[in-house]
C-alpha cells in the first residue's frame, strides 16, 4: 500500500522516508557528469548554468559532446561575454533552439558587466532568457538555495508517485516544493531528475530497481506506465521551401537568417513556398532576388523543427556573389542536409569519371 494516498488511501505522505530512500540511492548511483564536479551547493555556477540550458532540449548522451565543445570555446563567463554572436552560434551548432545561445550570450554580458554571478533565485530570474526551471536549478546546485525544479522527469516521477493522470504545471510545482529536501536541495533535485532519466522512464519503467517504489501509487496499482497520460501533441505544420547552392559544399553563398527559429544563423539563400504558389514560382522569386541563373535540381531534403516539418528543394545555381567558408559559419541542420546533396553529387561525378 502506498503511503502517498492514492485512490482509497488516506495516509499522509511519508516524506522523510521518501527523501532518505531517494537520496541514499542517488549518493550511491547518481550519474557522474562533468558539471556536477565540486562541493554540493557550491559548484561552479557557470558550468551548472551552461549544462542546464543545454539539457533543456538535448538528451544527456548528446549533450556531453556539446557541453565539452562549448566549454572549450568559452571556458569562463568572461570569455562568453567577449565573444561575437556568430562565434557563440557556431559553438552551439547542432544543439538547436538557437534562442538559448543568444540568451546565454546576452546574460553572460550582463554578468560580466555586474562583475559577479547572482546568487539568488530572483537574481537569476532577472537575467535574459532565464526561466523558473533554470533559476531553481542553478541556485539549488551552485548556491544551496532551497528551490525545487520542475522538468519533464520530475513531472513524470511525481505523477506516478501520486497516480496523477494529468498533472498541471501548478500541481507539479506544488508537490515538488512540498517534497524538497531543504538540507540538500541540489542533490534532491538531481536525484529526482536522475530517477526519471534512468529508472522511472516514459516507457517500461524499471520498478524493480526503483528505490522509492514502496511510496508509489502507480506501482501499487500495477500500471506505472499509465501515468501521466500522454499529452495531446500539436499538429506538425508542413512547409515547402526552395534553396539555391551557389558554389559548393565547402564554400557557398550564405545569408544570415532572421526570425525566432533560426535567427542569427547563416544558411543557403532560401524562400518559403507561399500558399497558392508553386515551388517553381518561389525559385524564380529567389533567383530574381539573387540575380542567379543556370539552376539545376540537386535533390530534396526534409527536416523537422519543433512543430514544423520543412521539405526543401535544393538547386545548384550561378550568381556573381561572394562565397563564404561553410566550416567557419554557424549553420542549421537543415542547411547541412542540403549541402550533403552536393557532397553526394561530387562523389557521383568522381565515380562516373
The residues annotated as belonging to the active site are 52
Closest C-alpha among 331, 258, 316 to residue 92: 331
With beta carbons less than 8 A apart as the criterion, state whether 50 and 71 touch: yes
Instruction: Write the CB contacts of 73 (distance below 8 Å, at least 6 apart in sequence).
Output: 79, 83, 87, 91
Of 116, 194, 182, residue with least CA distance to 145? 182
Concatenated DSSP letters of 219-240: HHHT-GGGSSPPPPPPPPEEEE
CB count, 10 Å around CB of 121?
19
The rounded distance, in Å, linking the Cα atoms of 46 and 136 is: 14
Distance between CA atoms of 205 and 278, rounded to whole angstroms?
A: 48
C-alpha cell at 271: 524562400
Peptide bond into 228 cis (omega under 30): yes
The C-alpha cell that represents 274 in the structure block = 507561399
Amino acid at each position: 500500500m502506498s503511503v502517498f494516498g492514492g485512490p482509497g488511501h488516506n495516509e499522509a505522505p511519508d516524506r522523510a522516508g521518501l527523501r532518505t530512500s531517494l537520496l541514499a540511492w542517488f549518493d550511491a548511483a547518481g550519474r557522474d557528469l562533468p558539471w556536477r564536479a565540486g562541493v554540493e551547493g557550491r559548484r561552479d555556477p557557470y558550468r551548472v548554468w551552461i549544462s542546464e540550458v543545454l539539457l533543456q532540449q538535448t538528451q544527456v548522451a548528446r549533450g556531453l559532446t556539446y557541453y565539452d565543445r562549448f566549454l572549450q570555446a568559452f571556458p569562463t563567463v568572461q570569455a562568453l561575454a567577449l565573444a561575437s554572436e556568430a562565434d557563440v552560434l557556431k559553438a552551439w551548432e547542432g544543439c538547436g533552439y538557437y534562442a538559448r545561445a543568444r540568451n546565454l550570450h546576452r546574460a553572460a554580458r550582463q554578468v560580466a558587466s555586474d562583475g559577479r554571478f547572482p546568487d539568488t533565485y530572483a537574481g537569476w530570474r532577472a537575467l535574459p532568457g532565464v526561466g523558473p526551471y533554470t533559476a531553481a536549478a542553478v541556485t539549488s546546485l551552485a548556491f544551496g538555495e532551497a528551490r525545487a525544479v520542475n522538468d519533464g522527469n520530475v513531472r513524470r516521477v511525481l505523477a506516478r508517485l501520486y497516480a496523477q493522470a494529468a498533472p498541471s504545471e501548478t500541481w507539479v510545482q506544488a508537490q515538488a516544493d512540498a517534497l524538497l529536501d531543504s538540507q540538500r536541495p541540489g542533490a534532491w533535485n538531481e536525484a529526482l531528475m536522475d530517477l526519471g532519466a534512468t529508472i522511472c522512464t516514459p516507457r517500461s519503467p524499471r520498478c524493480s530497481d526503483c528505490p522509492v517504489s514502496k511510496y508509489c501509487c502507480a506501482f501499487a496499482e500495477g500500471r506505472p506506465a499509465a501515468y501521466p497520460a500522454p499529452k495531446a501533441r500539436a499538429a506538425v505544420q508542413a512547409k515547402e521551401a526552395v534553396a539555391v547552392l551557389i558554389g559548393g559544399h565547402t564554400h557557398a553563398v550564405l545569408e544570415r537568417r532572421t526570425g525566432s527559429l533560426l535567427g542569427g544563423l547563416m544558411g543557403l539563400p532560401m524562400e518559403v513556398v507561399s500558399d497558392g504558389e508553386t515551388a517553381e514560382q518561389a525559385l524564380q522569386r529567389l533567383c530574381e532576388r539573387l540575380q542567379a541563373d543556370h539552376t539545376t535540381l540537386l535533390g530534396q531534403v526534409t527536416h523537422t523543427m519543433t512543430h514544423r516539418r520543412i521539405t526543401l528543394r535544393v538547386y545548384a545555381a550561378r550568381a556573381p556573389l561572394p562565397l563564404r567558408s561553410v566550416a567557419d559559419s554557424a549553420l542549421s541542420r537543415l542547411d547541412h542536409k542540403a549541402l550533403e546533396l552536393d557532397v553526394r553529387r561530387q562523389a557521383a561525378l568522381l565515380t562516373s569519371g
